[in-house]
Chain A
Amino acid sequence: MQSEYNEDYYERGIETGMSVYQNYRWIPELTIPIAMVMIDHLGIKRGQSVLDYGCAKGYLVKALRVLGRDARGVDISRYAIENVDAEVREYCVLKEDFKGLSTVDFCISKDVFEHIPEDEVPEVLAWINACELFVIITLGDENGYFCAEGNLDKTHVTCKEAEWWTEMFAKNGWGLKHFSYRVTGIKDSYNDVSPKAHGFFTLRRL
């Protein structure tokens, strides 16, 4: 599965019909404010540990580290990890190479869970070793994703409503601490058109 997340996926997603990514790169004016919203929303203190599950080229890891948080990342894409931002090379690894020894304070997973086949979600939720998990998911139902962009990524395979995800998390040991369709500062541009396009779940180990 990881081979789908190749150069075409990240750099030429629109023209190859694989994703909505084009020339996937570091854009500090976008990623630093998003990282700060996460810090405020979750209350991540200076020095606390954060794992970005599905870190791609490590830009959120880089932003969180710039802001004084001990962030690391994992991804299943060999292409993304081989092309990870030079500043965070030592902090981002392929999932198969990850040697997580202790529980991290926070795990963040943005735009990742909709890529995981339904039957593999429990395994991922068991793998994550964190006190708190913050997940942002593109939501949908049997008719497709609620926002048009959600339907453009070929690797989006699990298209479910917020209630389904909440139940899935609970069944696999993650209790819902907070849920919202909106966290101001993240994915704001979707709100006017598709106010329920994304779910923001803050979860705690049960």
Chain B
Amino acid sequence: MDIYDRDYYERGIETGKSCYQNYRWVPELTIPMAMTMIDYLSIKPQHSILDFGCAKGYLVKAFRWLNRECYGHDTSKYAIDNCDPEVKGLCFLDNPHRTGSFDFCIAKDVFEHIPLSRLKEFFEKNVAERYFAVIPLGKDGKFFAPANNLDVTHVNCMTEDEWIQFFADNYLGCERFTHRIKGIKDSYYEKYPTGHGFFTLCR
């Protein structure tokens, strides 16, 4: 059974599955965040983007509003079936069929959910030239920001050094790492300044 179901996205707190409640389009959050990514990664209008773990496609929608060619992929049938209508044909359960790789693959709050063996298989597919991963960090089974301990589907709890080593083992060099990009996850930063890692990776 797909754990990323209606309960996970709409009633995550009360069902103890995640910290999502009534997961919906909130443009005043998603548009500035997409713009922050465009500026940080210098994503130009001619670049293509894959949002890996796109859920209902809100980041895909935001990028499309901002004139960027973006597609989404998610393993949740519930999320893809309930994708935002504006990006319905752009978000897929399988990887989007496309000749050549994407210029960017964005994976925000995703890699911590995927067993490392499957993540390794994903990297072997060479879907993108460059990867941008936002990952909650932790040590000894505890994430530094407590909210990240509420999601039962978080299976990788690692430090930034462990992630960087994992990426290197999969032929991805860490071009840039930081604990903060202003405009993404700002609310965590003051209390948990090392709660998340922002990795820019290149083959």
Contacts and interface: CB of A to CB of B under 8 A. Distances in A.
Interface in A149-193: 185
A28 interface: yes
B65 A67 contact: no
Given A28-B27, A66-B31, A68-B183, A33 B39 contact: no
Contacts of B95: none
Given A46-B39, A67-B35, A68-B39, A40 B65 contact: no
Chain B binding surface, main DSSP class? helix
A36 B44 CA distance: 11
B28 interface: yes
Interface in B28-72: 28, 31-32, 35-36, 39, 44-45, 65-67
Interface string B1-36: 000000000000000000000000001100110011
The number of chain B residues touching the other chain, given as a range, is 10 to 19
Contacts, number: 34
Nearest to B36: A68
Contacts of B39: 45-46, 68
Nearest to A37: B67
Q: Could you tell me the dominant secondary structure of chain A's interface residues?
A: helix
A185 B31 contact: no
A185 to B, nearest CB: 6
A68 B66 contact: no
Given A32-B27, A40-B45, A66-B28, 14 more contacts: A28-B27, A32-B66, A33-B67, A36-B65, A36-B66, A36-B67, A45-B39, A66-B31, A67-B31, A67-B32, A67-B66, A68-B32, A68-B35, A68-B39
Interface of B: 27-28, 31-32, 35-36, 39, 44-45, 65-67, 183
